[in-house]
Amino acid sequence: MSIWFTEELHPYYRKGIRIKKILADEQTQFQHLQIVETEFFGKAMILDGIIQLTERDNIGYHEMIVHVPMLAVGKPKRVLIVGGGDGGSLQQVLRYPSVEEAVVCELDQRVVDLSREHFASFGDPWADPRARLLVRDAFGFLEENPAQFEVIISDTTDPIGMAERLFSDEFYKLMVRALTPNGAAATQCEQPFFDTELIKQIYQSAQEKVKHPAYYYANIPTYPGGGIGFMYISDTPWENGLKTPYPSGKNNYLNPEIHKAAFALPEFFRKELYG
């Protein structure tokens, strides 16, 4: 018999999906990790009671967080993914033939292990010789590697518990320091309706560090409010990516119209963010 999983991120809002089967359920060293089979969205990963991805709608998240900075840079050679142990962002990064090394700095090995077992649609990007997994905290790695990466993807959980530091001014400073000149980063940056003040703080922090920060957005039904935002961080305008050909392989979410429209913000939020 199927059951309902209900997620309550805010005291005034909750959402639920129907689950057919629990495939994995364990307390790792860092978090409560579950893999479930849902009735509509396919397999889903849940961390500490919060949906991280599903087979059906992860395309909006992974394609947008990866390709916007990658296309803006053009032909990146070294890429760092902070978090991203599920392999979805790595799969998209490795579509670029220019990439010589893609480093994934993931804190929890079990996220990698269970994702390789249950999310076959990601094609096991870990087997690619260009992929390099580091099971460690990203702060120390960023401190040790200034000016090393053309692109950095901060593919993190929500700012709860240990992940709060990944939304701090200190983290953004280290991330920009780890970029090569004219490199670009994209970070998971929450939802305009629920997290306006946090996004404003992050944007102001980015403004102090790069010439062309910008917030953009994707539709993902299983995330709170039906979508998620990203912060683009670079001295290179994001618009450069509109002129760059897509890498080989199939896009399931991103196209030129979506790419451009993602930066068009609702008026209430545009005023809050940009004044």
Read off the tokens for 59.
Answer: 């395309």
pLDDT score for 259 = 98
pLDDT score for 36 = 97
Mean pLDDT over 179-196 rounds to 95
pLDDT score for 240 = 97
- Phi first, then psi, for residue 90 (nearest 5°) are -60, -40
Query: Is the per-residue pLDDT at 266 higher than 80?
Result: yes
Mean pLDDT over 51-78 rounds to 97
Query: Is the per-residue pLDDT at 54 higher than 70?
Result: yes
What is the band of 19 on the pLDDT scale with cuts at 50, 70, 90? very high
Question: Mind telling me the catalytic residues?
Answer: 155
Query: Is the per-residue pLDDT at 10 higher than 90?
Result: no
pLDDT score for 40 = 95
pLDDT score for 161 = 65
pTM of the model: 0.96
Task: Give me the residue spans of the domains in the chain.
Answer: 3-53, 58-274
Domain 3-53 superfamily per CATH:
Spermidine synthase, tetramerisation domain (2.30.140.10)
pLDDT score for 163 = 62
The pLDDT tens digits of the residues spanning 137-183 come to 998 999 999 999 999 999 987 766 666 776 789 999 999 999 999 99
CATH topology of domain 58-274: Rossmann fold (3.40.50)
Mean pLDDT over 219-245 rounds to 96
Q: Determine what percent of the chain is predicted with pLDDT higher than 70.
A: 97
Say yes or no: do domains 3-53 and 58-274 share a fold.
no
pLDDT score for 12 = 87
Cα–Cα distance measured from residue 98 to residue 101, given in angstroms and rounded to the nearest whole number = 9
The pLDDT tens digits of the residues spanning 112-125 come to 999 999 999 899 99
